[in-house]
Amino acid sequence: MNRTPEQILALAPDAASAKSGRDLAAERKWVTLNREESRDENSELIWGECQGSGKTPYRTQVDTGDLAFKCTCPSRKFPCKHALGLFLLRASQPAAFTIGEPPAWVKEWQDARNTRAQKQAEKATKVNPEENAGVDPAVSVVGAAKRLAARERKVTAGLAELELWLCDIVRQGLASLQGKSADFWETAAARLVDAQAPGAARLVRLMGRQPTSGDGWERRLLHGISLLHLLVEAYKRQAELSLEQATDVRTLVGWTIDQAEVKKHAGVSDHWLVVGRVTEDEDRMQVERIWLWGAGCDRAALVLNFTPAGQSHAAQTSQSLFVPGDCFKGEVVFFHGAHPLRALVKERVEPDAAEIERLENAFLTEAGFAELTTAVAAYTAALARNPWIERFPMLLRGVVPQHCGDDCWVVRDAANHCLPLAKRFDGAWRLLAESGGRPIRLFGEWDGSTLLPLSIWSESRLHFLN
Amino acid sequence: MRMTTRQDLSSTIHETALLGTRRKSFTMPQVEGALGSLLSQLVESDRRAEANEEAKNAEKLLLEVAAVVSLYEACGQMPERISTDLPSVCESDASPVCPPRTSQFFAQMLEGQHADVLPEALRLAAVKGFRIFADLLPALLELGTKHTDLRDAITPVLGERGQWLARQNPAWEWAEAPNTVEESAVEEVWQTASRDKRMTLLRELRRTEPSRSRALLASTWEQEAPEDRSAFLRLFENNLGEADEALLEVALDDRRKEVRRVAFDLLTRLPSSALVRRMKERVRSLVEISSVRMSKRKNPLAATLPAECDRAMQRDGIKPKPPHGIGEKAWWLMQMLGAVPPAVWCEHLKLGAPELLELAKTHKFSDALLGGWAIATTRFRDTGWAEAFWSARTPLPQNQYGVSPSIVEAVLAVLPSSRCEELLISELESNPVALDDSVLTLAFLEQFHHPWSVRLTRIFWNKLRHKFTDKLSLTGAEWVILRAAREAAVFMAPSIGEEVARGWATDERLQDRARQFEQTFSLLSFRHNLQKSFEEES
């Protein structure tokens, strides 16, 4: 499928790369520009040599179908500015590329990718025990159980300490928290990390932001600590919970679930549209949230990518690159939970153009919520199943953005119900501009009190708002 | 026992939590309704826990109750109903939207990349009758709010959607279509509207009905704030005519200096005005050609400095206090000369402009004479004098006190751009050191804010390449040229941008030099692609 410059730029790891990429999307920056005779219209191999500051030009190559990039430049960013520039140039000046036979350095990469893909496929079909070849299975199982029990003890102790700390906060009063330095929260969080409960540590850090979050902070903070206390209590009584609820509680505390394990389960096969993407920094970790919406099942799936801060997305495979508005056919497996949202993409196939169009039309008329009352009811139902849901995906079919003075904005439906937009959302005027006073379709995250719009549809195309 | 409502319970919990259980004790009240029965379950399980000798403290109880109430409220929430009017719906746009690639370029420029190409891009879009796609409108309106000089370029490309959007934000009022004022409402708008609206109205009337605008301003002249008086009067520049003289004469007596200044500026643009006539009378006898040649060395141009700056002169806009570096009498003479059409002197002294400039160059009052004539040339748009100034290359006193225009400023203000370009081309072609030591040529290039022809662009770059061929390091003056080229890149012909950039590839040393021009080439190629993108399908 032909990528628009907007979509290509959305692949950039940061704004600086996007800017440099655009600068490099000029014919004269390239010594050579070539493409392979198209395999099909959806994907092709393009390569070029870009004169950098060094003597020898950088060799850059892009597989536009699989969204795979390679460049000889030393940049750790992925895709690098050269790859972006090459890709953008192909979109804006297709005539600048001459058809040619891939040279040795392009072939080499192709072969390496093919071999890797094969190996992965082989590995996937291999049976598990072989991984531990040479180790007596019984010994390894015992070892794992021991480690598990040790961690279980540490987590339990950590949470008990957390409970005392929370009670102490309530004894001293929330009013005393405004004077506390960041260390107050950070120390508590660090203890939980030591106790191997990183999830609980994250929640403590989130609460640490509340005392300085402006009007109504004490309400939000009390809500936060009471739910954290509820989590501690729930963890103690896991045995009384359903399996799904217990999984939610353990995940939230910080127990991770092996992704390979998740992928073993059957997923939901559907056509999935990439409807939103947010990147946030969370304690030395960059978290990318990608929201998918299933056309047939009319539900959202959340794909999370974690990158340690300072590191590029270099570790990402092409599987995890999601372009706004992309639609793919595939199987998505949800993590267990009382209200499953988080998911993994197990299988991804690009559908053909005609199918996409049919799907998009169906999507435009049917998917999502037509009324805000239904959307909020769906949220509260989810909350009843999992009280710790932080963000609820809302695809709203027909809302009008409206300015209510100062920096207060709402979206309003045909029944005159409205939801306020998040204060930190800075694209409200753009929403209004695109609506022209008419109902629009938008996707956003509802946090229980405000909506953070992530994308809108205009001229029947989806656009990310950030 | 009295039943507590949810609201009461909620505020009790918050008060207690805020103060701390250390200061305010918490006991579980009896709560009504479904929430009450939920909470009683909680109390029940606590009682069982106590039986197991697990002590429950007040803090834990408070946190548990808070969680239940908090979730109860969260789950029970409904979206609010809103009763205010819906925003008006925008009419659909008849004009086509920019082609997609052009939109991308606009997005890039609005983010700050190659932002200096925006005026050109906006002009091109307006000429083609394109409007800007809705997602970029807020950024465009913000830009116009900050940079008032771009507003006239922005309004034509806003389309219906942009006009509509501007009406939703008071800060964007400037962008609203000017002809929204009904004929019958003109008086009322003029009397009651905001300053921006009144400016827009007056500007529009000035264009279509100058006499009406004059009558309108005259009707409220006395009541206007001084800064409004000068701003409104400034609009009379457009369609200025003899009929405006009476009001301008009134303004010449204004209490505020700025208003008097505007009136003086405008009156001196009317060659037939009484002010210009009075000035002619004053100054005519001060500059003469002596009929008897005393000696060969003696300059026949005789200038007398005025003896005083009387009240009448001051009323006619002559500033008595000179800026630093010029004598006060010379200063008075310069200003008076500046307010009289320069052609007067050719007639009066029976000499052409080139001859007069030649004589003035060596005159002891050369500053006053040349400065005054340069002001007059610019003010009265005298092409003959402008050409004469350029040929004579008379150094003007401008550098010292900044009171009169430079030659380049005078030439650019008076001569049509096609003529300016001819002058530049012949300068570059005929003067072998045009870029070496002629500050004048460089200043001309820098200030020539019109699209360059392909010919001028090519000649300029050939000259530059030639100049840099043998140089290994750059002198200070050459850095100035580099900067000038970068700044002029928004006016160069972008169609030969690739040619210009490639021209450097023949020689290794040149390639090295070409890096210095990287930004310039990048801008040219951006403009080239931008211009091409307008031809693509929307």
A438 contact B CB<8A: yes
What pLDDT is stored for residue B402 in this prediction? 62
B contact test, residue of A172, A174, A223, A226 with most B CBs within 10 A: A226
What pLDDT is stored for residue A422 in this prediction? 94
DSSP reduced 3-state for B208: helix
CB A295 within 8 Å of CB A272: yes
A contact test, residue of B42, B59, B495 with most A CBs within 10 A: B59
Residue A22 CB: number of other CB atoms within 10 A?
27
Cβ within 8 Å, pair A412-B113:
no
A contact test, residue of B71, B78, B508 with most A CBs within 10 A: B71
A126 contact B CB<8A: no
How confident is residue A389, by pLDDT bands cut at 50, 70 and 90?
Answer: very high
**Chain A residues with beta carbon closer than 8 angstroms to that of B59:** 166-168, 170-171
What is the Cα–Cα distance from B349 to B302, expressed in whole angstroms?
11
- Closest residue in A to B82 (Cα–Cα): A416
Render the burial of B180-198: b for 16+ CB within 10 Å, e for the rest.
Answer: ebeeeebeebbeebeeebb
What amino acid occupies position A238? Answer: Q
A370 contact B CB<8A: no
What pLDDT is stored for residue B421 in this prediction? 94
The better pLDDT of the pair B431, A102 is held by A102
- State the pairing for strand pair A440-446/A68-71: unpaired
What residues of chain A, 51 to 90, have a C-beta less than 8 Å from chain B?
A: none
- Closest residue in A to B71 (Cα–Cα): A387
What pLDDT is stored for residue B291 in this prediction? 67
CB A35 within 8 Å of CB A43: no
B contact test, residue of A7, A24, A28, A29 with most B CBs within 10 A: A28
What pLDDT is stored for residue A130 in this prediction? 45
Render the burial of A67-96: b for 16+ CB within 10 Å, e for the rest.
Answer: bbbbbbbebebbbbbbbbbbbbbbbbbeee
Cβ within 8 Å, pair A171-B83:
no
Q: A318-352 pLDDT, tens per residue?
A: 445 788 788 888 999 999 999 999 999 988 887 77
Cβ within 8 Å, pair B90-A418:
no
A contact test, residue of B42, B48, B63 with most A CBs within 10 A: B63
- Nearest CA among A198, A187, A186, A202 for reference residue A154: A198
Q: Is the peptide bond before A198 cis (omega within 30 degrees of 0)?
A: no
pLDDT digit string (tens) for chain B, length 538 residues:
578 888 889 999 999 999 998 888 888 888 888 888 888 888 887 777 666 655 568 888 899 999 999 999 999 889 999 888 888 899 888 889 999 889 989 999 999 889 999 999 999 999 999 999 999 999 999 999 999 999 999 999 999 999 999 999 989 988 887 655 677 788 888 888 888 888 888 988 898 889 999 999 999 998 999 889 999 999 999 999 999 999 999 999 999 999 999 999 999 999 899 999 999 999 988 988 876 655 566 778 888 899 889 999 999 999 999 888 788 999 999 999 999 999 999 999 989 999 999 999 888 898 899 999 999 999 999 999 999 999 888 766 554 556 678 888 888 989 999 999 999 999 888 877 777 666 778 888 888 999 999 999 999 988 888 777 666 566 777 777 888 888 899 999 999 888 888 777 666 666 666 677 888 888 998 999 999 999 887 5
What pLDDT is stored for residue B186 in this prediction? 83
Nearest chain B Cα distance for residue A324, angstroms: 16
**Chain B residues with beta carbon closer than 8 angstroms to that of A175:** 18-20
- Closest residue in B to A412 (Cα–Cα): B82
**Chain A residues with beta carbon closer than 8 angstroms to that of B20:** 170-176
Nearest chain B Cα distance for residue A440, angstroms: 12
- Beta-carbon contacts of residue A346 (< 8 Å; ≥ 6 apart): A263, A267, A330, A331, A332, A333
What is the Cα–Cα distance from A109 to A116, expressed in whole angstroms?
10
Q: Which of A59-68, A165-174, A304-313 has maximum average pLDDT?
A: A165-174
- Beta-carbon contacts of residue B66 (< 8 Å; ≥ 6 apart): A222, A223, A225, A226, B13, B17
Q: What is the full DSSP assignment across A312-353?
A: -GGG--GGG---TT-EEEEEEEEPPSSS--BEEEEEEEPPPH
CB A92 within 8 Å of CB A25: yes
A218 contact B CB<8A: yes
What is the Cα–Cα distance from B116 to B487, expressed in whole angstroms?
9
A19 contact B CB<8A: yes
Residue A111 CB: number of other CB atoms within 10 A?
10
Q: Which of B104, B161, B498 sits opposite A28 (nearest CB)?
A: B498
What pLDDT is stored for residue A40 in this prediction? 66
**Chain A residues with beta carbon closer than 8 angstroms to that of B81:** 416-418
| Chains A & B: contacts with CB separation below 8 Å | 168
Cβ within 8 Å, pair B23-A380:
no
A226 contact B CB<8A: yes
DSSP reduced 3-state for A446: strand
Q: Which of B67, B108, B168 sits opposite A227 (nearest CB)?
A: B67
Single pTM value for the model: 0.79
What Cα–Cα distance (Å) separates residue A401 from each residue in A391, A427, B89, B137, B140? 21, 11, 12, 16, 20
What amino acid occupies position A150? Answer: A
pLDDT higher than threshold 60 for residue A313: no
What is the Cα–Cα distance from B513 to B504, expressed in whole angstroms?
8
Helix segments in A25-96, DSSP class H: 81-92
Q: What is the full DSSP assignment across A235-304?
A: HHTGGGS-HHHHHHHHHHHT----HHHHHTS--EEEEEEEEEEEEEEETTEEEEEEEEEETTT--EEEEE
Domain definitions of chain A by residue range: 5-118, 144-253, 259-363, 372-464
B517 phi, psi to nearest 5 deg: -95, 10
DSSP bridge partners of A412: A400, A418
Angle value at C-alpha B383, between B379 and B387, nearest 5 degrees: 115
CA B422 remoteness from chain centre: 28
Q: Which of A23, A163, A417 sits opposite B522 (nearest CB)?
A: A23
Cβ within 8 Å, pair B79-A218:
no
Cβ within 8 Å, pair B13-A222:
yes
Cβ within 8 Å, pair A19-B57:
no
Cβ within 8 Å, pair A218-B501:
no
Cβ within 8 Å, pair A416-B14:
no
- Nearest CA among B355, B316, B308, B312 for reference residue B338: B316
What is the Cα–Cα distance from A341 to A299, expressed in whole angstroms?
9
Nearest chain B Cα distance for residue A372, angstroms: 7
What pLDDT is stored for residue B166 in this prediction? 94
ipTM reported for the complex, 2 dp: 0.81
The strand ranges marked E within A8-51 are: 30-35, 45-50
Cβ within 8 Å, pair A170-B17:
yes
B contact test, residue of A30, A162, A429 with most B CBs within 10 A: A429
Q: What percent of chain A shows pLDDT beyond 70?
A: 92
What residues of chain A, 328 to 357, have a C-beta less than 8 Å from chain B?
A: none
- The CATH topology of domain A259-363 is OB fold (Dihydrolipoamide Acetyltransferase, E2P) (2.40.50)
Half-sphere exposure of A262 (CA within 13 A, CB side): 20
**Chain B residues with beta carbon closer than 8 angstroms to that of A433:** 134-135, 137-138, 161-162, 165
CA dihedral B209, B210, B215, B219 (to 10 degrees): 100
Nearest chain B Cα distance for residue A229, angstroms: 7
